[in-house]
Amino acid sequence: MKLTTFCIPESLLEALDGLVERGMYPHRAEAIRVAVRDLVREEGYLPRAKFPEESAESLTLAMRTDETREKEASE
């Protein structure tokens, strides 16, 4: 992976931190990677097979996120 630096509005950073605090992502970097990956896929620039660095841990995290949302919705 390569290190990338960018500016982000404080309101988005606070929202990002909220996702991390709720346990949806382990840290900011993972949340940003997921967002960029999903954007690139949605725009059709890289198909799923072009992301070999994805691990089973990332996929498990996504499934936990769905379970967490369902649990919170039922409460």
| 16-74 pLDDT, tens digit each | 999 999 999 999 999 999 999 889 888 888 766 555 555 444 444 444 445 555 665 66
Number of domains within the chain = 1
Round to whole Å and give the CA distance between 56 and 42. Answer: 21
Round to whole Å and give the CA distance between 9 and 31. Answer: 16
- The reply to whether 3 falls in a domain is no
Q: What is the pLDDT of residue 60?
A: 43
- The reply to whether 2 falls in a domain is no
pTM, full prediction: 0.59
Range of the domain at 24: 10-74
The phi and psi torsions of 67 (rounded to 5 degrees) equal -65, -40
The phi and psi torsions of 45 (rounded to 5 degrees) equal -85, -30
Round to whole Å and give the CA distance between 19 and 59. Answer: 17
pLDDT for 13 beyond 70: yes
Read off the pLDDT band of 3 (50, 70, 90).
Answer: confident
How many CB atoms are closer than 10 A to CB 55?
9
- The reply to whether 5 falls in a domain is no
- The reply to whether 22 falls in a domain is yes
